Amino acid sequence: MFASQLSSQLHFIVRRLWQMVPTMAGVVVLVFVLFNWVGGDPSYLLAGKMADAQAIANIRAQLGLDQPWTVQLWIFVKQILTFDFGNAWSTGEPVSHILASRLGPSLTVLVPLTVLETFFGIALALAIAFVRGSLTDRLVMVACTVGMSISILVYIIVFQYGLAYKLGLFPVQGWGDNFLQNLLRYAMLPILIGLAVSIAPTLRLFRSFVLDEVNQDYVRTARAKGLSERRILWVHVLRNAAIPIITYVMSNLPALLIGAFLLERFFGIPGIGREVILAVERSDFPVIKAITVYVAAATMVFNLLADLMYGAVDPRVQLR
Amino acid sequence: MTGADPVQLHAASPGLWTLAWRRLRADRMAMASLAVVCLFLLSVLLSATGLVAAGWEDEVAVNYAPPAFMGPDTALAALSQPAAPAPPNAFDPLGSDIAVLKAAIEENAARQGKTVQAAKAATLPFGADKWGHDIVKKTIKGGQTSIVVGLVAALVAVALGTLFGALSGFYGGVVDDLFNWFYSVFTAIPSILMILTVAAVLQTRGVLTIVLILGLTGWTGPYRLMRAEYIKHKAREYVMAADAIGASGWRKMFVHIFPNVSHVALVQMSILVVGFIKAEVILSFLGFGVPVGVVSWGSMLNEAQNELILGKWWQLAAAASAMALLVTAFSLFADALRDALDPKLK
């Protein structure tokens, strides 16, 4: 029984991984087309203002731009598979080293932020579900809409100015080598701001997930059994609402890696998001290409992980 | 025959749009937010035609003139009296040349006995920026850019999404597979990353560029919904009837089916406008959006970020609150519109 379940799960994983191949191929082709045809010839960018024909020809040969496009595409695929995108154009740092060293700082901010956001989102959504339809519910929803309407830029500018610069409660910006110091000192305000920005949309969404469940038959049955409203919400409803919540949180994680770019930029955190901004500013194509392809791959893997977690949360879900 | 036309005996049954409008009218919050949105659209129209905020680039006040209710800034007024005319934008590589030119023009004018330097105001209703531009006019002008970008980009995204969704849902088969593959590729890359990647590739900065970036990356949401609608509608009787009279595929898709699913497109568009206005503000803030010399709420926030440290908070407050007011009203209206057009969804 257990063995057959395991094998069916393995079967599911293999099939899903197989399905990723055409999508991933599409991502690779899309990025290739964007950078090789839509964008201009990067050799002019690299050669600078005073470029002669010889210098440009040299750079074109070095980048493989003088090869037919099939060869160029193959070079790109090889780069992806070997994790070797060469050196960044602007700094000369190996792209693989950039990716590896920027991931840590990003995660130092993102993991606590995601955990707190999910926890507070669920707690507040269930609390609001207690009083659904009331004036409080309506007011909180309007407050969420207003909160979502203020640009994230304003939150960051005002909080950084007020809490860090004026009141000195947090460092204005900075980052060190010590993980604990980074987490407890430098990441605190970014996490706080990230929470303030994301709690409104999260609460709205989670509330709708919870409200989708409260009218189901099993809730009526639980009520008829005489269970307390608290137990119904926290045990019965939460377990069912967990499925869309898991999907949302999991599939959002890779996007968040880039999405926190404003926080990283303002607070000088050397993460992936800030690296993307810098690369766009400097037209550092290898860095952008690498990040785009790997983040797309991560998005697909995390979607698969979310599906696998359904099976763990909901025994009715059969992974096939 | 007793005279009365039998058709007249029955009142015409109201259509989808009439019913939706009635539901909207009954919703006070929806009407209030609609009024606010209309006010903003009116200001866009007026500033686009030059009736309002035409002279936003005039340096009408002293540098950083505070809002009228704060009174003039004495220390600053004394400091900025003999100030040299600043270049219109510090990032402009031609800035210094322009300053030289300006000085020459002023000298020339002074020789001819004209007074060029009109008396500069010490305060303005909502203050002035670094160069003495009127913040109220600047906010209106910036709103014009941000709102037009949001609206046009949403139109492009919904048009693309509708076209792809119609083809995919109506024809099915290989066409559907192709567009679904397209969809999975575009959704595999997080939208922010997609936007930044396209911004990196398209080296030119301009209003049209942002519209293209946002429009070409934002079609996936509308596509999914429009595809579902077309699948639902293509088997309906009225489409079969159109088929029977020999209507072509395009005619069936866009003359017969589209009017019946256009409310979905409208709701999608109202949701996208909000997201795109926010995105434009961030792009322009980072310098990937509007070009130098064009003002948008994003470029205002960029300037205001540095002004805040000097204690000049009014440009930040103006741009932030104008944007928050519009986006709040637009989101509330979009929610109400969705509820009114699709009561089943609620």
pLDDT tens-digit readout, B261-275: 988 899 899 989 999
Would you say residue B10 has pLDDT above 50? Answer: yes
The encoded tokens of residue B286 equal: 């980072």
C-alpha dist (Å) from residue B268 to A200, A212, B222, B223, B338: 21, 22, 6, 10, 9
Rounded mean pLDDT, B109-134: 67
**Segment A203-223, tens digit of pLDDT:** 999 998 998 888 889 999 999
Would you say residue B81 has pLDDT above 60? Answer: no
What is chain B's mean pLDDT, rounded? 82
Q: Are B164 and B181 in contact (CB under 8 A)?
A: no
Nearest CA distance, A100 vs chain B (angstrom): 18
Set of chain B residues whose Cβ sits within 8 Å of the Cβ of A30? 185-186, 189
A152 touches chain B (CB under 8 A): yes
Cα–Cα distance between A6 and A12 in angstroms, integer? Answer: 10
- Angle in degrees, 0-180, between the axes of helices B16-26 and B314-341, rounded to the nearest 10: 130
Inter-chain CB proximity A280 and B199 less than 8 Å: yes
Inter-chain CB proximity B286 and A277 less than 8 Å: yes
Cα–Cα distance between B229 and B285 in angstroms, integer? Answer: 37
Would you say residue A250 has pLDDT above 50? Answer: yes
A94 has which bridge partners?
A87
Best CA proximity match to B184, nearest among B212, B220, B213: B220
Would you say residue A120 has pLDDT above 50? Answer: yes
Give the SS3 label for residue A87: strand
Cα–Cα distance between B73 and B77 in angstroms, integer? Answer: 6
Facing B328 at nearest CB: one of A38, A149, A154: A149
Question: CA-nearest residue of chain A to B284?
Answer: A153
B124 has which bridge partners?
B67
B189, amino acid identity: I
> Residues 71 to 130 of A: which have CB under 8 A from any B CB?
none
Inter-chain CB proximity A34 and B305 less than 8 Å: no
Q: Are A199 and A146 in contact (CB under 8 A)?
A: no
Q: What does pTM read for this prediction?
A: 0.84
Would you say residue A119 has pLDDT above 90? Answer: yes
**Segment A13-35, tens digit of pLDDT:** 888 888 889 999 999 999 988 88
Cα–Cα distance between B118 and B105 in angstroms, integer? Answer: 15
A76, amino acid identity: F
Cα–Cα distance between B21 and B15 in angstroms, integer? Answer: 10
Rounded mean pLDDT, A241-268: 85
B181, amino acid identity: W
A26 touches chain B (CB under 8 A): yes
Q: Are A170 and A190 in contact (CB under 8 A)?
A: no
In this prediction the ipTM stands at 0.85
Q: Quote the pLDDT of residue B82.
A: 47
Identify the residue with better confidence: B50 or B229: B229
Rounded mean pLDDT, B11-25: 83
User: In angstroms, how far is the first alpha carbon of chain A from the final one?
Assistant: 16
Q: Are A118 and A244 in contact (CB under 8 A)?
A: no
Longest dimension (CA), chain B: 93
**Segment B140-167, tens digit of pLDDT:** 999 999 999 999 999 999 999 999 999 9
